[in-house]
A and B are shown apart, each in its own frame.
Chain A
Amino acid sequence: MKRANYIFLLLIAGLAAALVAAMLLGSERVSVFEMTEQGRAILFDIRIPRVLLGACVGASLALAGASLQALLRNPLAEPYLLGVSNGAALGTLLAFVLLGDVAGARPVMAFAGAAIATFAVYQMAKSRAGMNVERLVLSGVIITTFLSSIIVLLTSLLDAARLRGYTFWLLGDLSQATYNGFYLTLAAAAAGTIVLSSQARALNLMMIGERDAFDHGVEVGRVRIIIFGAASVLVGTSVAASGSVGYVGLIVPHIVRLVVGSDNRLVVPMSAIAGAIFVVLADTVARTAIAPRELPVGAITALIGAPLFIFLLRRN
């Protein structure tokens, strides 16, 4: 376990460094030593909540990805693949259309959307003979495309001005970060880390095979519900705060596994930290690359994630 401890320390140091770097960089220069009132406003009202929110979103998505992959015994499983992200996006869109700016409506509806999508996939995949993974993944694809078509339909019906805010958000965008959004995703990410870590050893067995896990004392059905529930909360709060930031749940656990192996007791918490680092850095690029203009962070994570993913896929 010694090596794992070093990696943990390294990751925590990396996260600290990424947070500090992200807080020092931005479209405007802010001197920490000669703090003006304006500099303080930029740093504390705009930059810091955004950086912190990015960290929590990254941790949440990586956690959801890592645990769903182990549960479904498929290293390619992702919140997006199962329709969880799209469920959350549709929930947020509906909150946006029906409830407007009602406080808390977006995250609640996003969670509801994620949970309904997950439940629908689960029901579709379940058969008399239990659940097989191919069926589950296929159901996920069906739900995803179905929800996508509803989203396209709704955005086509919305008038252009309302659509505009939504389109950018759909790509994954952290620019609307607030402290309240940060607190909410922080609570979800922290609870998610604890709940999922508590199931990590069971996930180790589920990863080998569901029947196998059952034979060795895992309450398979209960673990499945806990994982799906936790993933819905994590993805729901993230999507409500920042849209669909893609590839985090896929790439981060993959890289963590390359370094520490497949033990979920390491993979789950380490993915959380590594996911936070990844999104914080990606968003720093999104904020500064073409400053003072901005890019959606989802574009950056996809830009890094897609080629890296193809590389990893070919290596295996």
Chain B
Amino acid sequence: MFDLGFRIWDLGLIGMKCRSVEWLMIFLVLTLAGSMLVACDRQQAEIPAVAEMRTMKDDLGRDVRLPEKVTRAVSLAPSITEMVFAAGAGDRLVGVTSYCDHPTAAKNIQKIGDTQSPNIEAIIAVRPEVILVSTASQLEAFASALEGQSAAVFVLDIRGLGDVADRLRRLGQIFSSGERAELAAIEFENRIAAVKRRPRAKRPARVLLQISEADLFTIGRDSFITELIERAGGMSVTADIPGGYPKLSKETALALDPEVIILSDSPDNLKPNDALRNSAAVRSGRVYRVNADILSRPGPRLADALEQLAALLRQEPTGN
């Protein structure tokens, strides 16, 4: 379950819708691929294929053939876009999704649709050498459909904090920007380590991360945010619940009685659910909002998220 551009947890909910969209996509891709074949053949003929090729393993373990020097790439997830920029190769991006809004420079890159339904024609039109996708993004079908094109599809699967530095280095290899990527990776590792070295409370605070107020979605066992909270010196009260982003029973929310409530910032999540109105967190005023993008995009800004969470969890109760 990974970054699809908007909040990751939206995925399961719109799953049903995605299903049909997905089939439609496959259909479209196949028809388009067929009709584009002629055009692409011509393109290949025009550009002399003298560029030297190399092979790299992606996160699905596939051997992907890449040009020695990648100059044109498309990113199909905002987290990947942030990673590419951090790895010093933002200038090679020729296409990103409409959700890719960070860093600011990403806003000016050609949009090729959103993460769920990228526009295949638009992607082919920007003539990428590499298309970077994230696994869980139901885009595998889409990816394999693009396989026949001259563009390589590289799967970058970032499952949490521990993967970020490694994938930055990998991107450095892909884009031959090893030095800058290495610097970014080291900086990221240092920031994580610095948080770890900070003094923390003897007992980790019991944290509930609320994703939406009315229907009370939260994080479960499989969400990387659970780990993020632990590293920040807290513990997620919903860490044992199976799944990534479960809808939590209000009764259980009340019974869990969290000491800290983190609201991922969004228009439908401005205050804790009613069931939590007498919780320790609300009574002591330990309810905090955190930017939903830095929380939900598994990319370089996870370091920001970690630092913010750590700072919040160190705060003393202020309330009445």
Residues in A whose Cβ lies below 8 Å from that of B238: 292
- Are A292 and B249 touching (Cβ within 8 A)? yes
- Are B266 and A168 touching (Cβ within 8 A)? no
Q: Is A294 an interface residue (CB 8 A)?
A: yes
How many chain B residues sit at the interface, stated as a range, is 20 to 34
Q: Is B7 an interface residue (CB 8 A)?
A: yes
Residues in B whose Cβ lies below 8 Å from that of A292: 238, 241, 246, 248-249, 251-252
Q: Is A211 an interface residue (CB 8 A)?
A: no
1/0 per residue, CB under 8 A from B, across A135-172: the answer is 00000000000000000000000011111110111000
Identity of the chain B residue whose Cβ is nearest the Cβ of A29 in the assembled complex = B255
State in angstroms the CA–CA spacing of A203 and B215 once bound together. Answer: 40
- Are A168 and B246 touching (Cβ within 8 A)? no
Interface-centre pick from A45, A168, A176, A292 (highest chain B CB count, 10 A)? A292
CB < 8 Å: which of B10, B242, B248 contacts A160? B10
- Are B214 and A176 touching (Cβ within 8 A)? yes
State in angstroms the CA–CA spacing of A47 and B275 once bound together. Answer: 11
Q: Is A38 an interface residue (CB 8 A)?
A: yes
Residues in B whose Cβ lies below 8 Å from that of A176: 214-215
- Are A175 and B251 touching (Cβ within 8 A)? no
Q: Is A74 an interface residue (CB 8 A)?
A: no
Q: Is A28 an interface residue (CB 8 A)?
A: yes
Contact of A287 with B215 at beta-carbon distance under 8 Å, contacts A38-B255, A161-B266, A292-B241 already known = no
Contact of A27 with B251 at beta-carbon distance under 8 Å, contacts A161-B268, A165-B215, A168-B13 already known = yes
1/0 per residue, CB under 8 A from A, across B1-19: the answer is 0000011011001100100
- Are B252 and A168 touching (Cβ within 8 A)? no
- Are A45 and B268 touching (Cβ within 8 A)? no
Q: Is B190 an interface residue (CB 8 A)?
A: no
- Are A167 and B13 touching (Cβ within 8 A)? yes
1/0 per residue, CB under 8 A from B, across A35-57: the answer is 00010011001110000000000
- Are A293 and B246 touching (Cβ within 8 A)? yes
State in angstroms the CA–CA spacing of A287 and B252 once bound together. Answer: 11
Q: Is A26 an interface residue (CB 8 A)?
A: yes
Residues in B whose Cβ lies below 8 Å from that of A287: 249
State in angstroms the CA–CA spacing of A164 and B105 once bound together. Answer: 29
- Are B215 and A168 touching (Cβ within 8 A)? yes
1/0 per residue, CB under 8 A from A, across B209-248: the answer is 0001011110010000000000000000010011100111
Measured CB to CB, the residues of A under 8 A from B are 26-28, 38, 41-42, 45-47, 159-165, 167-169, 173, 175-176, 287, 291-294
Question: Can you spell out 27 A-B residue pairs with CB atoms less than 8 angstroms apart?
Answer: A27-B249, A27-B252, A28-B255, A38-B254, A41-B254, A42-B255, A45-B275, A46-B275, A159-B6, A160-B6, A160-B7, A160-B10, A161-B6, A162-B267, A163-B10, A163-B14, A164-B212, A165-B212, A167-B14, A167-B17, A168-B215, A168-B247, A169-B215, A175-B250, A176-B214, A293-B247, A293-B249
Measured CB to CB, the residues of B under 8 A from A are 6-7, 9-10, 13-14, 17, 212, 214-217, 220, 238, 241-243, 246-252, 254-255, 257, 266-269, 274-275, 278
In the A-B complex, the 5 residue pairs with the closest CB atoms: A292-B252, A27-B249, A160-B6, A293-B246, A161-B266
